C-alpha cells in the first residue's frame, strides 16, 4: 500500500472501504525467538558473493539441525518476481536474505 | 488559464475538421486585439493567431464548460455575453461584429466533441474536478501487484472478486444520490463505526453496483443498522441467518431488478450486488467478519448477499412495503433475517384452505418442528400458488390468519420427549396449543416465475425485541 505517501509509476489508487482503523503501511512480522520447527529459506538476491555468505549460513544452521530451502532472484536490479515471492511465502516461515558485494 | 474580461475567447483542437476550417477565420480575427484562442490538443494550432494558449490540460475548457469545438465566447466586464458553437457565418458575424468572415467557407458546419468529453480523459477530469470532495484514505496498489489479487490480499472481499474502488468510480457511484459524500448514513455494527455516504458508495463499487442502485443500498444500510433489526446480534449469532433485502415500489423496474423467474437466484445484477453491498459495508466498515464477530456455525450461501424484489403487479396481496406503512407508489426496502430458502411443493391444492395448511406444514420446520415462538420466518409465495388465493379472493391478512390457525401446535406433539425426540417445548403450563410464530413473526412476500406450484420458506432468527425484527425504510430520501 502507500509508502511514505508517494505514488509509484503505474500504480492504481483506490479509496479505503474500511473504517481506516488499521495502518495502511504493512509492517514486518516479529522476529521469532527461535528457529526451532520453523521452515527457513535463504534468499540470494544475485549480488556477487552472496552465495558464499549463504553457503556458510546453511552450514551453521545445519549444525543446529535446521535444514534450509534455497532461493535466488534472477537479478538484484529488479524487484522479486511475484511467483518467487509467492513460492517463498507458501514454503517458508522465515527467510534470510543475503546482501553482499 | 487566464480567460479574458473583455473580448473573444475561442476553444479549438487540431483533431477537429471544423476547427481546421475556421483556422483562417481565427487568423483574420486575430489581426485586431481581443481574441484569445485555447487549443486542446496541439499547442501550435491554429496558425496565425497571436494570443494562442495551450489548454492541453483542459483547465480553460472545463472552466468554460465546453462541449463542442470550435466554441466562440464573448466576454464583457468579465461576464459571458454570448456563445457560438461550431461554425456559422451568420452567428460568428453577429457575435464578433466583423462582416464577411470566412470567405469561401460553407455557411454552416457543425463542430466536434470537446476533448473534455473524450472517454480517455473523462475519469481524470472527473477526479480533478470533484476528487477533493472525497475524504477516504487513498491506498496504492503498486504496478507489481495484480489488481484483483491485491484487493483479496487486503481483506476487502467476501471471497469473490471485487471491483477496484478508484476515485473516479466512487465519484460516478455518488452521482446516484443527491446526498453529500460526508453525510452519515448509519452507525454500523459490530464496531459501531459511522458509515458515510462515501464509504457506502465505495463498498457499492466493490460489490459491482451501478450508481442508480446506490439509493437502495443506502436505504438498506440505514434499515439494517437500526436497533430493531439488530445487525450486530444477527452477525454474532452461531445461527446461519444473515440480512436479506426485499425491494418494493417503482425503483424495482427503474433499476431492472428481478422479481420473476429465479428471483431468489443468480443472474440479475441489481439483485446480486445490492445485497452484497450491504454485506460488504458490514464487513469492511463495521468490521464484521466470519470467524471474527461473525460466529455462524454454518452460515448460508445468501450471506454473500441476498436481495430480491417483490412481484407487486401479479400479486393478490397488497405490496409488502404498503402492508408495513409505506404509502402506495413509493419505493422501500425491508430487511429481514434470512437463512437459505427452502421450497414447498403443493401441486394438488386448488382450495385456499388446503394450500394454506400445506404451506403451514412447510413453515413448521423452521428452526425445529417441535420448537415455537423463538424464530421468525418469511414465506415467498410463487405466482401459481398465489393464483389459488387470488381466485378465492384471499388477501394478505386472510392468508396470515389461515397460516396462524394452521400453525397452532398441539402440545402433546411438541413437548420434550414426544415422538421419541428429547428436543421440544418444556412440559407444564396449560394444555392450550402454542402458536409457531410470535405475532408479526411471519412475513409474506410474492415473487417467482410463472410456472411451478411451489413456494419457499425462508427461516429467520430469534424474532422481536430479543433478536431481530424486519425493518422497512423508504428509498426516496436517499435519491
Same domain, B199 and B311: yes
- Per-residue model confidence (pLDDT) at position A4: 38
Candidates B127, B130, B139, B186, partner chain A, best to mutate (most A CBs within 10 A): B139
Same domain, B289 and B422: yes
- Per-residue model confidence (pLDDT) at position B194: 96
- Rounded to an integer, what distance in angstroms lies between the CA atom of residue A63 and that of residue A65? 5
Q: What is the least distance, in Å, from the CA of A26 to any CA of chain B?
A: 10
B219 touches chain A (CB under 8 A): no
Q: Which triple of cell numbers denotes residue B343?
A: 421450497
B433 touches chain A (CB under 8 A): no
A5 pLDDT tier (thresholds 50, 70, 90): very low
Q: What is the least distance, in Å, from the CA of A86 to any CA of chain B?
A: 12
With an 8 Å Cβ cutoff, the interface of chain A facing chain B consists of 1-3, 7-21, 24, 79, 82
Candidates B154, B165, B292, partner chain A, best to mutate (most A CBs within 10 A): B154
Same domain, B106 and B162: no
Q: Do the chains contact at B143 and A13, CB–CB below 8 Å?
A: no
Q: Do the chains contact at A17 and B199, CB–CB below 8 Å?
A: yes
- Rounded to an integer, what distance in angstroms lies between the CA atom of residue B308 and that of residue B446? 11
CATH of the domain at B102: 3.40.30.10
B122 is a domain residue: no
- Per-residue model confidence (pLDDT) at position A48: 84
Mean pLDDT score of chain B, rounded to an integer? 96
- Rounded to an integer, what distance in angstroms lies between the CA atom of residue B318 and that of residue B399? 12
Closest chain A residue to B162 measured between Cα atoms? A17
Taking CB atoms and an 8 Å cutoff, what residues of chain B touch A3?
140
Whether pLDDT at B5 is above 70: yes
For residue B43, give its domain range: 7-117
pLDDT, average across residues B126-135: 91
B126 touches chain A (CB under 8 A): no
Same domain, B263 and B341: yes
Q: What is the least distance, in Å, from the CA of A23 to any CA of chain B?
A: 10
Q: Do the chains contact at A16 and B137, CB–CB below 8 Å?
A: yes
Closest chain A residue to B193 measured between Cα atoms? A19
- Rounded to an integer, what distance in angstroms lies between the CA atom of residue B41 and that of residue B55? 7
Same domain, B418 and B458: yes
B210 is a domain residue: yes
Same domain, B183 and B332: yes
B138 is a domain residue: no
B243 is a domain residue: yes
Same domain, B221 and B80: no
Q: Do the chains contact at B144 and A19, CB–CB below 8 Å?
A: no
B268 is a domain residue: yes
Whether pLDDT at A68 is above 80: yes
Closest chain B residue to A15 measured between Cα atoms? B138
B306 pLDDT tier (thresholds 50, 70, 90): very high
Q: Do the chains contact at A14 and B164, CB–CB below 8 Å?
A: yes
- Per-residue model confidence (pLDDT) at position B1: 61
Closest chain A residue to B280 measured between Cα atoms? A17
Same domain, B154 and B111: no
B267 touches chain A (CB under 8 A): no
Taking CB atoms and an 8 Å cutoff, what residues of chain A touch B170?
15
- Per-residue model confidence (pLDDT) at position B428: 81
pLDDT, average across residues B351-371: 97
Same domain, B160 and B94: no
Q: What is the least distance, in Å, from the CA of B273 to any CA of chain A?
A: 16
Whether pLDDT at B218 is above 80: yes
Whether pLDDT at B448 is above 70: yes
Same domain, B19 and B162: no
A81 pLDDT tier (thresholds 50, 70, 90): confident
Domain boundary among B117, B136, B165: B117
B203 touches chain A (CB under 8 A): yes
Q: Do the chains contact at B138 and A14, CB–CB below 8 Å?
A: yes
Count the domains in chain B. Answer: 2
Q: What is the least distance, in Å, from the CA of B205 to any CA of chain A?
A: 10
Q: What is the pTM of this model?
A: 0.81
Same domain, B93 and B164: no
Same domain, B72 and B178: no
How many CB atoms neighbour CB A4 within 10 A? 5
B234 is a domain residue: yes
Domain boundary among B67, B101, B117: B117
Nearest by CB to residue B202, choosing from A1, A8, A17, is A17
- Per-residue model confidence (pLDDT) at position B225: 97
B266 is a domain residue: yes
B136 touches chain A (CB under 8 A): yes
- Listed residue (A11, A10, A9) closest to A1, CA to CA: A11
Domain boundary among B95, B117, B139: B117
Q: What is the least distance, in Å, from the CA of A50 to any CA of chain B?
A: 25
Whether pLDDT at A41 is above 80: yes
B206 is a domain residue: yes
B258 touches chain A (CB under 8 A): no
Q: Do the chains contact at B141 and A18, CB–CB below 8 Å?
A: no
Nearest by CB to residue B139, choosing from A16, A21, A82, is A16
Of B60-69, B91-100, B121-130, B194-203, the one with minimum mean pLDDT is B121-130
Whether pLDDT at B224 is above 60: yes
A23 pLDDT tier (thresholds 50, 70, 90): confident
B287 touches chain A (CB under 8 A): yes
- Per-residue model confidence (pLDDT) at position B122: 86
Q: Model confidence over B16-57: pLDDT tens digits?
A: 999 999 999 999 999 988 999 999 999 999 999 999 999 999
Q: Do the chains contact at B139 and A15, CB–CB below 8 Å?
A: yes
Candidates A18, A23, A73, A86, partner chain B, best to mutate (most B CBs within 10 A): A18
Q: Model confidence over B320-354: pLDDT tens digits?
A: 999 999 999 999 999 999 999 999 999 999 999 99
pLDDT, average across residues B434-453: 97
A30 pLDDT tier (thresholds 50, 70, 90): confident
Instruction: Output B84 or A36, whichever has higher pLDDT.
Output: B84
Taking CB atoms and an 8 Å cutoff, what residues of chain A touch B142?
8, 10-11
Nearest by CB to residue A17, choosing from B142, B147, B165, is B165
Whether pLDDT at A78 is above 80: no
Q: Do the chains contact at B138 and A15, CB–CB below 8 Å?
A: yes
- Per-residue model confidence (pLDDT) at position A6: 52
Amino acid at each position: 500500500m502507500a509508502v511514505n505517501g508517494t505514488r509509484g509509476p503505474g500504480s492504481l489508487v483506490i479509496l479505503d472501504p474500511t473504517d481506516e482503523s488499521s495502518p495502511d503501511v504493512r509492517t514486518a512480522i516479529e522476529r521469532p525467538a527461535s528457529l526451532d520447527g520453523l521452515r527457513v529459506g535463504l534468499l540470494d538476491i544475485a549480488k556477487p558473493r552472496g552465495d558464499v555468505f549463504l553457503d556458510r549460513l546453511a552450514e551453521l544452521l545445519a549444525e543446529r539441525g535446521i535444514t534450509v530451502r534455497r532461493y535466488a532472484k534472477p537479478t538484484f536490479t529488479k524487484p522479486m518476481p511475484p511467483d518467487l515471492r509467492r513460492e517463498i511465502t507458501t514454503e517458508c516461515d522465515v527467510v534470510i536474505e543475503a546482501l553482499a558485494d | 488559464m487566464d480567460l479574458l474580461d473583455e473580448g473573444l475567447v475561442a476553444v479549438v483542437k487540431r483533431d477537429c475538421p471544423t476547427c481546421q476550417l475556421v483556422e483562417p477565420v481565427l487568423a483574420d480575427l486575430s489581426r485586431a486585439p481581443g481574441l484569445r484562442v485555447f487549443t486542446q490538443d496541439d499547442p501550435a494550432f491554429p496558425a496565425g493567431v497571436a494570443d494562442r494558449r495551450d489548454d492541453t490540460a483542459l483547465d480553460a475548457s472545463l472552466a468554460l464548460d465546453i462541449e463542442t469545438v470550435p466554441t466562440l465566447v464573448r466576454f464583457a466586464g468579465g461576464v459571458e455575453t454570448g456563445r457560438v458553437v461550431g461554425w456559422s457565418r451568420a452567428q460568428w458575424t453577429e457575435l464578433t461584429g466583423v462582416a464577411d468572415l470566412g470567405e469561401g467557407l460553407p455557411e454552416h458546419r457543425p463542430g466536434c466533441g470537446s476533448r473534455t468529453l473524450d472517454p480517455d480523459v473523462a475519469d481524470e477530469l472527473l477526479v480533478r474536478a470533484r476528487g477533493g470532495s472525497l475524504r477516504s484514505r487513498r491506498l496504492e496498489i503498486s504496478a507489481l501487484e495484480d489488481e484483483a489479487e491485491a484487493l483479496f490480499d487486503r481483506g476487502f472481499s467476501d471471497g469473490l472478486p471485487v471491483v477496484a474502488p478508484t476515485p473516479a468510480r466512487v465519484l460516478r457511484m455518488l452521482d446516484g444520490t443527491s446526498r453529500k459524500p460526508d453525510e452519515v448514513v448509519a452507525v454500523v455494527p459490530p464496531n459501531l463505526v459511522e458509515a458515510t455516504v462515501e464509504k457506502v458508495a465505495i463498498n457499492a463499487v466493490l460489490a459491482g453496483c451501478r450508481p442508480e442502485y446506490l439509493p437502495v443500498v443506502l436505504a438498506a444500510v440505514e434499515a439494517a443498522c437500526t436497533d430493531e433489526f439488530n445487525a450486530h446480534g444477527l452477525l454474532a449469532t452461531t445461527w446461519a441467518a444473515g440480512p436479506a433485502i426485499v425491494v418494493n415500489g417503482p425503483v424495482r423496474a427503474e433499476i431492472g431488478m428481478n422479481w420473476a423467474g429465479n428471483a431468489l437466484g443468480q443472474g440479475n445484477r441489481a439483485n446480486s450486488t445490492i445485497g452484497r453491498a450491504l454485506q460488504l459495508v458490514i464487513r469492511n466498515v463495521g468490521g464484521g467478519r466470519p470467524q471474527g464477530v461473525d460466529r455462524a456455525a454454518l452460515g448460508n450461501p445468501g450471506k454473500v448477499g441476498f436481495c430480491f424484489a417483490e412481484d407487486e403487479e401479479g400479486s393478490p396481496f397488497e405490496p409488502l412495503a404498503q402492508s408495513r406503512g409505506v404509502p402506495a407508489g413509493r419505493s422501500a426496502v425491508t430487511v429481514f433475517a434470512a437463512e437459505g430458502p427452502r421450497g414447498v411443493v403443493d401441486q394438488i391444492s386448488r382450495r385456499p384452505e388446503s394450500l394454506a395448511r400445506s404451506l403451514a406444514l412447510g413453515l413448521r420446520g423452521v428452526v425445529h418442528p417441535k420448537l415455537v415462538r423463538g424464530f421468525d420466518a418469511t414465506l415467498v409465495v410463487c405466482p401459481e400458488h398465489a393464483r389459488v388465493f387470488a381466485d378465492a379472493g384471499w388477501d394478505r391478512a386472510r392468508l396470515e390468519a389461515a397460516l396462524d390457525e394452521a400453525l397452532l401446535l398441539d402440545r402433546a406433539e411438541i413437548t420434550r420427549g414426544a415422538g421419541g425426540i428429547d428436543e421440544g417445548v418444556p412440559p407444564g403450563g396449560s394444555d392450550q396449543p402454542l402458536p409457531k410464530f410470535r405475532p408479526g413473526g411471519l412475513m409474506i412476500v410474492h415473487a417467482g416465475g410463472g410456472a411451478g406450484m411451489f413456494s419457499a420458506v425462508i427461516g429467520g432468527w430469534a424474532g422481536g425485541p430479543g433478536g431481530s425484527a424486519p425493518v422497512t425504510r423508504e428509498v426516496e430520501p436517499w435519491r
